[in-house]
Structure 1
Amino acid sequence: MTTRTEPAPRVVIADDQELVRTGFRLILTARGIDVVGEAADGLEAVAAVRRLRPDVVLMDIRMPGMDGLEAARQVLAQSPDCRVIMLTTFDLDHYVYAALAAGASGFLLKDVTSAHLAAAVRLVNTGDALLAPSITRRLVERFASGAPKPAPDLNTPATHRDLAPLTPREYEVLTLMGRGLSNAELAQFLTLSEATVKTHVARIFTKLSLRDRAQAVVIAYETGLVTPGEDPETAAPGT
């Protein structure tokens, strides 16, 4: 009996600093990850993704010309199956929220350890979000609070037309995801099995065309389901 091994992720590294690109390439290559291309700015990154079709892009936020945020938008628009990890030297950079809203799967600080960098690339390549739910929630709380949100309609279970496909239970799960609960915490809070929670989460992703949990958290804030500072213990759906 042979053991099936997953193919190595194919990665493009986009950063205007050559030393950063070289360092990341050496780290990833040493850990069995295939770096298929590099880019020194956003325009080069978009062109490289179009040409090379990588699985994951490591995208610096601050680059000359087209910055990483606009490049991420264009990459994800032309290659929906590609995963983008934003790179920043600043924790909770204010551009990161916009990147998550555009579809990026998470962010990394440039001083990330070698092991964490490789693990992050492999994680998002599986379709998961890089950020833990609680970290995503704190990030969104910090930068989403100033964005205008639609006024909630208390007479309907959905506060935004984009949420209309959700069932009442899926609506509840999305709300709690937005408040930072993991699948295990959701299961405990709703008295459900983790398998059932995962099914609800997967259906939410499909119905709302979301890539991962990071986008789900953003949607929960942008639609007014969740407001900064809410606690799931005191602001549960339907209470």
Structure 2
Amino acid sequence: MPGQTTESLTSNWNKMTSESRPRFPALHVKNLVQETLRQNLDGRSYRAALCKDLTGNILDQLNDKLITRGPKGYKFITFIDVGANQTAGPVFYGSQCVKALGQAAGDDFAEASFQNASLYGIGIVWAVPDPAWTTSRARLTPTESQCQQHFPIVQVKSIIEDAIDRHAVGRRYEPVFCKNLTQKLSAELKTTLLQKGPKGYKFVSFVTVGSSGGGDTVFCASQCTWGKPGDDFAEFTRQNSSLYAMAIVWGIRAE
């Protein structure tokens, strides 16, 4: 698999939510992610068209399992990444959770991966407690945003774009630089969202940086098992001939 992909994600999330970990069945959710990846990827070989379809299939199946077999009283954000195991260089991820002022602890995540000689798959589930929310099949996806009138997507997207452009424009892919960049962007997005982002939200920010010069495509897909007005997301991607940098910020209404 390309790189130690979740190193910075795990470190950052533990700093934010270590006090809440006993309350969230992370191992159970991790097993659901691992099971779904293995069912879809075991014995497969990398083909671009196949992997593009697989990201969506894995996402749908994982969300169904979270609805039927996952812990109750949580909103979930799910993310799937599938790509070739032999690429131009490692892909790196970083993530931060930003709680609204005065909100109780309880946010957490679980992640798992699968790889064979040809391809890899990574799945991440972020969980945000909401005792009043009964998880349903209502989903918020990049093509089916339901709550744009509530969440200031343009404002948050501008924050993401500014952070990426100041650090990534004109740069070339180098593993050490890209690993550090995921951590830097994740931390900067956290700080900027607290200072300039919309009030009354919890935020989950996710950053991925990798090589765009290897010829093989990395496919990503994400969904949110919620439909409550006010919850939404913004995303931005910048790519040149050497690297790509993508960031997503999900906003969960906390008032």
TM-score over 0.5 (shorter chain) = no
* TM-score, length basis structure 2: 0.30
Structure with bigger strand share is 2
Max radius of gyration: which structure? Answer: 1
Structure with bigger helix share is 1
